[in-house]
Amino acid sequence: MPFAQSLLLTIYYALLTLVAAVMFYRALLIPRYFLQRRADEEPGARFAAPPLVTVQLPVYNERFVVERLIDSVCALDWPRDRLEIQVLDDSTDATVGIARAKVAQKAAEGFDIVHVHRSDRSGYKAGALRAAMDRAKGAFLAIFDADFVPTPDFLRRTVDHFTDPQVAFVQARWTFLNDRYGLLTQGMGMLMDGHFVLEQVTRSRGGYLFNFNGTGGIWRRQAIRDAGGWQDDTICEDTDLSYRAGLAGYRGVFLRDLGCPSELPVQITALKSQQHRWAKGLTECFLKLVPRLWRSDLPLRKKLEGTFHLGANIAFPASLFLTVVTLPVMLVRIQRGFAGEVAALFDSVVFALVIVTQVLFFVVATREVHRDWVARLRYLPFFPLVGTGLAVNNARGVMEAFSGLRTEFVRTPKLGVLGEDRALVRTRERAYTGGRDLWQAVVELLVGAYYVAMAVYQAPRMPVAAVITGVLSLGLFTMGGATVRALWIRRQARGEAGAEDAAPAAAAVLPRADAPARAAAPAAEGAPDPATALGRGAGPGPV
């Protein structure tokens, strides 16, 4: 066999092995999940009196949801004299005035609440949390991003876990206020359930290191200090701190049956921004923490678990490169006759096992936390399309991490739309559509065209594979097309955005154009009560 063909096949099977290993690791989470105890950990003791808790709300340009956030935190069932609230506002738009006015209102009502505005945004979210920690009065710090709506009993159900001095943080499972908005939110809700139900539960209850999810949880302030504090050398500061705390001898507690309602992104471009940040940030943590992990005295099983967890996103560039070499590999196999057919059969078996295990992964996660789990399974076909569509986006994040490229912490836009008011979404998305990555959209469209070319070539020889390849190309066309659409919206809205993003100081006194719509939003949009939204996803098993 010529050297070039041997090299091509070596690269192909190396990439296939890497992708399959990551997928089978995820599949092994299913039996491990069922081997763990079936109920959340209960606190070993109770505090004699409610300790002082500081709630920190890091926000950045969150005009549509910041008031809802502050209202929900002020509704927490906790003594007012034992509750401090810090609104950590790095905003550069009208959010500053909106938040400042809301804080003033709540302070007049007797809440211990402050508005802290930074103008330089140094360190991004990690920098805001780091700067605010020395000002905090509480020994425990609860953190909620702007799109979260914690239920009133959140502190009652988390704080007593800190009677164990080894507990660094308590993380609640995210539930979703708007998962029924459309296909994107339904599918993403199922995807997130897979992470929270199978990954987080299995790691937490099995005694492994696992990550604080950045929001919907509460930290022991001393554990943050002992772990080295909030650091901004990765864009997943939450995972970074969680692992450093674990290496310092602390542990986390994950509560599957405590839901913290939040809002899913309703725009594909917002989803891409979120997924890029997570893929890049986790890979940065992989590069930073895995050497420390393997130098530690943790058992081998915990080192392996942490390595697979932090390095899982490497499968994205591997799968993308695997796609690129697939067509040349097909040509080589045709030349090899029977041997090529055997190799193709082996590949088919591997891909089939990967697909079956991943489908089972999400079926189990959905069944565990949703009463209507059977009906929700109709969204399963969403995952291959999204996984393929995000390959370029997430591979870019991983490669940026490996190259050491530092990029801005790009927030995920949240629009505060909980019903099905798509006209309101179109209006509000103009405030956040960036559209800076035209080159990525072009790559996505080109890779989609490459999939179509492969499907055409496969059609006479492997018709079933050709159909699958053709369908998967839709994911890439969707992702690339969404970015092109975002560019067009941004161009149309440029003048409107300038008028809407008036000086923050004026926003506190000037009425906003959408004020009547905001006031009527719960009724007009059919916004669910947070407790009702929580009830849809809480509780062990399909009840």
Task: Clarify whether 90 is annotated catalytic.
Answer: yes
- Quickly tell me which residue has 């836009």 as its tokens: 413
| CA separation for the pair 466, 455 (Å, rounded) | 4
What the block records as the tokens of 480 is 């690339």
Quick one: how far is CA 120 from the chain centroid? 25
DSSP per-residue codes, 454-467: HHHHHTTT-HHHHH
Q: What's the rounded Cα separation, in Å, for the pair 490 and 432?
A: 8
Q: Number of helices and strands (H, E) in the chain?
A: 23, 7
232, 238, 240, 347: the active-site residue: 238
Please report, for residues 7, 233, 234, 238, the alpha-carbon distance to residue 405 in angstroms, rounded to integers and kept in the order given: 30, 11, 11, 20
> CA–CA separation, 374 vs 461, rounded Å?
36
CA 308 to chain centre: 18
- Encoding tokens for residue 528? 């669910």
CA-to-CA distance for 543 and 539, rounded, in angstroms?
A: 7
Which of these is catalytic: 40, 90, 160, 179? 90
Cα separation, 85 vs 70, in Å, equals 9
The residues, ordered by sequence, that sit 6+ positions from 535 with a Cβ below 8 Å of its Cβ are none
Which pair of structure tokens corresponds to residue 158?
A: 């988390």
Indicate the length of the chain as a whole number: 543
DSSP string of 197-256, one letter each residue: IIIIHHHHHTT------SSSEEEEHHHHHHTT----SSS-HHHHHHHHHHHTT-EEEEEE
Residue 89 among the catalytic residues: no
Which of the residues are catalytic?
90, 238
